[in-house]
Amino acid sequence: LLRAHPADWTLVEYPTLFGALPAVLHAKALRRRVVVNVADLWVDASVAVGALSPGALVRALLSIERAMLRRADAVNVVTEGVRDALVAKGVDPRRICWLPNGADTTLFRPGPPDPVEVEALGLADGEHLFLYAGTLGYVHGLDVVLDAAEHLVDEPVRFVLVGGGSERDRLVAEAGSRGLRNVQFHEPVAPERVASMLRCATAGLASVRSGDLYRSIRSAKMFPVMASGRPVIYAGDDEGAAIVEGVGAGLCVPPGDGAAMADAVRSLIAHPAEAMAMGGRGRSHVEAEATWESIVARWLDELAVIDARTGRGRVR
């Protein structure tokens, strides 16, 4: 921060708490305005999943969190649920900015499969690819994909999961122990390769665990799929599922329901015209609401309103 060029704002990522608060205090000491980007409420989430137990430590952590949020000039949120939670914690709604997930519509775009990519994936003629690309973490509940694959093991369907994460090794071992020859794992690849894979896919997958803690989530995985003109199969009952369902950009199934996901796979294969229409509606939604250019432009406008209200000048 000391070596950085003068800037209108210092952007601080939260979590983690122990890095975020010192960054906020340091930026304020340098008389720089601070916007804290709240990806999730780490302390609340840790208590909810049992990683932390209520008590003195949690009270201390929440006190640090309050101090950080109180000192921030603006706070970014990625979902409506996080916005509501912050307001409940006493954050002034006028300081909350909207910075949701989106997609690069130039990189992720509709198009025919690249034969080179088809060969690299090892797809047979008539085989349908269903792609999950992103973190393989606990919150994503990806056992649902393995369960769906078990229902479809004798059908021309390939599930490809691209990425790393805390659950990857367990999922690989589980797929092996269950003999799921229709499930393939890839190490993380560049976004350009993900875009190429999506153009080979019948649909993309997104999944979030069940539970009150997760209902404020909207999976970032759905936006590149939608931008690519492919339908989404979304296993979840959260904000993301509501978007997919509301737009008509895919099929939503209950979280953790592998049989329902398998039925959604069969439906998209059986009704290619409707699958294509879903993909088109998804692409139109992203172009209208979720390109990075439009998201960032709206965000900068919100920061400018805060600047004007506090008399600190315009951000652009």
pLDDT in tens, 75-98: 999 999 999 999 999 999 999 999
Q: Specify the pLDDT at position 57.
A: 94
Residue 1 confidence (pLDDT) above 60: no
Q: Do 131 and 74 belong to one domain? A: no
Q: Do 67 and 145 belong to one domain? A: no
Instruction: Give the tokens for residue 276.
Output: 């294509």
Q: Is there a domain that residue 3 lies in?
A: no
Angle between helices 143-151 and 258-270 (to 10 degrees): 60
Q: Do 245 and 125 belong to one domain? A: yes
Which residues are within 8 A (CB) of 198 and not within 5 positions of it... i.e. 6 or more apart? Answer: 108, 131, 133, 204, 224, 225, 228, 230
Residue 3 confidence (pLDDT) above 70: no
Residue 312 confidence (pLDDT) above 90: no
Q: Specify the pLDDT at position 91.
A: 94
Q: Is there a domain that residue 1 lies in?
A: no
Residue with the two structure tokens 């994460």:
165
Q: Contact 281/230 with Cβ under 8 angstroms? A: no
Q: Is there a domain that residue 303 lies in?
A: yes
Before 93, cis peptide (omega within 30)? no
Q: Do 15 and 79 belong to one domain? A: yes
Q: Do 230 and 295 belong to one domain? A: no
- Tell me the pLDDT of the chain averaged across its residues: 93
Q: Do 135 and 232 belong to one domain? A: yes
Q: What is the CATH classification number for the domain harbouring 244?
A: 3.40.50.2000
Q: Specify the pLDDT at position 281.
A: 99
Q: Do 250 and 261 belong to one domain? A: yes
Q: Is there a domain that residue 4 lies in?
A: no
When mean pLDDT is compared across 3-17, 25-39, 78-92, 244-258, the lowest value belongs to 3-17
Q: Specify the pLDDT at position 45.
A: 85
Terminal Cα distance for the chain, rounded: 20
Q: Specify the pLDDT at position 313.
A: 46
Residue 235: closest CA among 209, 217, 202, 200: 209
Q: Do 121 and 149 belong to one domain? A: yes
- How many Cβ atoms sit within 10 Å of the Cβ of residue 178? 14
Residue 2 confidence (pLDDT) above 70: no
When mean pLDDT is compared across 5-14, 54-63, 253-262, the lowest value belongs to 5-14
Angle between helices 272-289 and 239-247 (to 10 degrees): 110
304/264: higher pLDDT: 264
Residue 138: closest CA among 228, 40, 253: 40
- CA 78 vs. chain centroid, Å, equals 9
Q: What's the total number of domains in the chain?
A: 2
Before 79, cis peptide (omega within 30)? no
Q: Specify the pLDDT at position 212.
A: 81
Residue type, 269: I
Q: Find the domain containing 193 and state its range.
A: 115-288
Residue type, 137: G
Q: Is there a domain that residue 223 lies in?
A: yes
Q: Specify the pLDDT at position 315.
A: 42
Q: Is there a domain that residue 315 lies in?
A: no
Q: Do 37 and 150 belong to one domain? A: no
Provide the pLDDT confidence category of residue 311 given band limits of 50, 70 and 90. low
Q: Is there a domain that residue 109 lies in?
A: no
- Three state DSSP letters for the chain: CCCCCCCCEEEEEECCHHHHHHHHHHHHHCCCEEEEEECCCHHHHHHHCCCCCCCHHHHHHHHHHHHHHHHCCEEEECCHHHHHHHHHCCCCHHHEEECCCCECCCCCCCCCCCHHHHHHHCCCCCCEEEEEECCCCHHHCCHHHHHHHHHCCCCCEEEEEECCCCCHHHHHHHHHHCCCCCEEEECCCCHHHHHHHHCCCCEEEEECCCCHHHCCCCCCCHHHHHHCCCCEEEECCCHHHHHHHHHCCEEEECCCCHHHHHHHHHHHHHCHHHHHHHHHHHHHHHHHHCEHHHHHHHHHHHHHHHHHHHCCCCCC
- pTM equals 0.90
Q: Do 95 and 141 belong to one domain? A: no
Instruction: Give the tokens for residue 142.
Output: 């990806």
Q: Is there a domain that residue 221 lies in?
A: yes
Selection from 202-216, 274-288, 302-316 with the highest mean pLDDT: 274-288
pLDDT in tens, 151-185: 999 999 999 999 999 999 999 999 999 999 999 99
Q: Specify the pLDDT at position 52.
A: 87
Q: Do 296 and 274 belong to one domain? A: no
Residue 204: closest CA among 175, 227, 178, 173: 227
Q: Specify the pLDDT at position 22.
A: 85
Provide the pLDDT confidence category of residue 293 given band limits of 50, 70 and 90. very high
Q: Do 156 and 233 belong to one domain? A: yes
309/229: higher pLDDT: 229
